[in-house]
Chains A and B, each alone.
Chain A
Amino acid sequence: MGRKSPFKITLLLAAAGVTVVALATMLSLLWGSTPALKAFGWKFFFQKEWNPAMDRFGALPFLIGTLLTSFLALLLSLPLSLSISLLLGEYLKGGKLSSFIRSMVDLIAAVPSVIYGFWGLEVLVPAVREMEMKMDIVPYGVGIFTASLILSVMIIPNTASLAREVIQLVPRDLKEAAYSLGATRYEVIKKVVVPYARSGIIAGILLSLGRALGETMAVTMVIGNSSEIPKSLFSPANTMASVIANEFTEATGDLYYSSLIAVGLLLFVITTLFGILGRYVIKKTSIEGGK
């Protein structure tokens, strides 16, 4: 390439800078969690006791809380987001209604998470409490179930937009071939569209999951903040993100503080892994687009 001009060097420096920020993020988390990892070893991530008063810390309750809320949210939101993507990618391809629905889906993603949390706290929590009273279980109102409900709404756009894009990419001749054999639209969707778009849908699900795992405010406000391992789907809990949000500014003592950073490290590693997996699936099927 030869000698580089000063101008090109500034471009290069900017790109290097972005890389350095990402690297520094990782290293800072590792460095910050060193005291905790030294004190507890790798068992920190599977220890079930989180007791600041006794200076004993383990991330297991939050790991479980995070996985439960995220997967439950995913389960609840899948039928919704897949319907939206089929509607926009197959049934209603153009027109005013279609673009209106699309901008509404974008809007779901644009509403700040603290507002979802506030609404959840004021509307959803009392509703869930009432339901729990009818079901004759302890009526906390807050808890994993409530957090999953809110989350399931918030992650609709991620799956919906990616899945819509791949559904639109299904070649016309494939669908037309199926129609000409006498298939109904439902059969075309089931036997041609979905199998063809499967990997894109999976990628969208992985991205949604990444969003759900890291979501902080809405979950923090409705999950009830309990550091015990949740006994049921209706009990209060904490996710990795919510325990950091709640306790970071109050953390007294280096070990407490470092343990919270270690929880952050774990969260970072998990979301990054899901992100890499999602992008790998996208790349492998060479689907452009998505976020």
Chain B
Amino acid sequence: MKGIKLRIFKDRLFRSAVYALSLLSLTPLFLILLYIFKRGLRVINWEFLTRLPRPVGVENGGIANAIVGTLILVFLASLLSIPPGIWAGIYLAENKNSKLAEAGRTAVDVLQGTPSIVVGIIAYLWIVKPMGRFSALAGGVALAIMMLPVVVRSTEEVVKLIPPYLKEAAFALGASYPKTILRVVLPAALPGIVSGVLLAVSRVAGETAPLLFTAFGNQFMNYNILKPVNALPLVIFNYAMSPYEEWKRLAWGASVVLILLVLAGNLISRTVVKKWKVRF
């Protein structure tokens, strides 16, 4: 037995170290947020949000096309990934031990671990190459591939948690299997699914790498999904890497808009879970 004083000293030292290092790990986050808001907040005004980008040397460009582009991309990705994702998630939860469920779960793991830049290559090979040009559609597909595993996983996990007696009660009342799933299981699982989907959406809204060679970016406003579109993360990347101070200034503004968007998604997702959660 070592001296008790030394042991108490070590205990205190360790505790202080844990507190100090924890504080240290959160510091960069605060520094980054502070810096971005300091630089970006004053850039944002109505013109910034509603104008199109302008050539170098002309001041007061805007990011309207990037905001619209991000909305188009996220909408396309949601359309492509949410319905099949929820459906597949229900299958995985309902058929826990089938071979297909086993394969599906592995597939979800693989897709979730796939680096975003590789997803970009895939969308390029599948859409851009056959079509012969960059397009919003290709960007949407890339983001959909990123969303799909998250949607499947969160649906599966929520549906699994629904107590079997709910389903049994529906069956006992003579409800068919589709009716039970659509009218009992799905509504009960909805808050969990919505929160998972919102998290997925807010994550892909900030993704840049899969868009580099799919949506590609565009200096003009574009609503045609078969043509390239701009996106907030792309604007930040392109302007940040440019040598022009004015463009960098715009990139800070775009960063604030993007962060607020992502935070709103996260926040809403959390409230949904808290407010709507069905308790059993």
Q: A residues bordering B, Cβ < 8 Å?
A: 5, 7-8, 10-12, 14-19, 21-26, 28-29, 31-32, 77, 79-81, 83-84, 86-87, 91, 101, 104-108, 110-119, 121-123, 153, 156, 160, 184-187, 189, 210, 213-217, 221, 241, 244-245, 248-249, 260-261, 264, 267-268, 271-272, 274-276, 279, 291
Q: How far is the CA of A276 from the CA of B105 in the complex (A)?
A: 12
Question: Measured between C-beta atoms, what is the minimum distance from B136 to chain A in Å?
Answer: 16
Residues on A with beta carbons closer than 8 Å to the beta carbon of B32: 111, 115-116, 119
* Contacts A28-B122, A116-B32, A117-B240 given; does A11 touch B94 at CB 8 Å: yes
B107 within 8 A of A: yes
Q: Identify B213's interface contact among A19, A184, A249, A291, CB under 8 A.
A: A249
| Least CB separation from B149: chain A residue | A18
Q: Which of B100, B108, B126, B233 is within 8 Å of A28, CB to CB?
A: B126
**Chain B nearest Cβ from A69, distance in angstroms:** 13
- Number of chain B residues whose Cβ lies closer than 8 Å to a Cβ of chain A: 86
Contact B111 A21 (CB under 8 A): yes
Is B220 an interface residue when CB atoms closer than 8 A count as contact? Answer: no
CB distance A216 to B209 under 8 Å?
A: yes
B203-249 contacts to A, CB under 8 A, are 203, 205-209, 212-213, 216, 233, 236-237, 240-241, 248
The reply to whether B266 and A118 contact each other, CB–CB distance below 8 Å, is no
Interface membership of chain B positions 83-106, coded 1 if the CB is closer than 8 angstroms to chain A and 0 otherwise: 011011011101100001101101
Task: Kindly report which residue of chain B lies nearest to residue A250, judged by CB atoms.
Answer: B213
- B104-145 interface mask toward A, CB cutoff 8 Å, 1 = contact, 0 = none? 101111111111111011101110000000000000000001
Which one, B7, B236, B237, B251, contacts A187 given CB within 8 A? B7
Q: Which residue of A lies closest to B262 (CB)?
A: A110
Binary contact readout B54-73 vs A (1 if CB under 8 angstroms, 0 otherwise): 00000000000000000000
B273 contacts the other chain (CB 8 A) = no
> Considering only CB atoms, which chain A residue lies closest to B110 in the complex?
A22
Residues of A within 8 A of B113 (CB): 210, 214, 271-272, 274-275
B22 in contact with A184 (CB, 8 Å):
no
In the complex, what residues of A have CB within 8 A of residue B112's CB? 275, 291
Q: Are A19 and B103 touching (Cβ within 8 A)?
A: yes
> B13 to chain A: which residues have CB within 8 Å?
186
Q: Judging by beta carbons under 8 Å apart, are A216 and B115 in contact?
A: yes
On chain A, the residues within 8 Å of B252 by CB distance are: 118
Which of A105, A114, A261 is the one whose CB lies under 8 Å from B237?
A: A114
Given A79-B21, A118-B251, A279-B109, decide whether A15 and B88 contact each other with a Cβ distance below 8 A. Answer: yes
With A110-B202, A115-B36 known as contacts, the answer to whether A271 contacts B114 (CB < 8 A) is yes
Known contacts A112-B262, A271-B113, A184 near B8 by CB under 8 Å: yes
Which residue on chain A has the smallest CB distance to residue B124?
A248
24 pairs, A vs B, C-beta closer than 8 Å: A8-B177, A12-B100, A15-B87, A17-B88, A18-B107, A18-B111, A28-B122, A32-B125, A80-B21, A110-B262, A110-B266, A111-B32, A118-B251, A185-B11, A186-B10, A186-B13, A216-B115, A216-B208, A241-B117, A245-B209, A249-B216, A261-B121, A272-B113, A274-B113
Q: Which of B23-31, B41-49, B162-170, B187-195 contacts A (4 or more CB under 8 A)?
A: B23-31
Q: A267 to B87: give the CA distance in the assembly, Å.
A: 30
Which of B25, B85, B205 counts the most A-chain CB atoms under 10 A from its CB?
A: B25
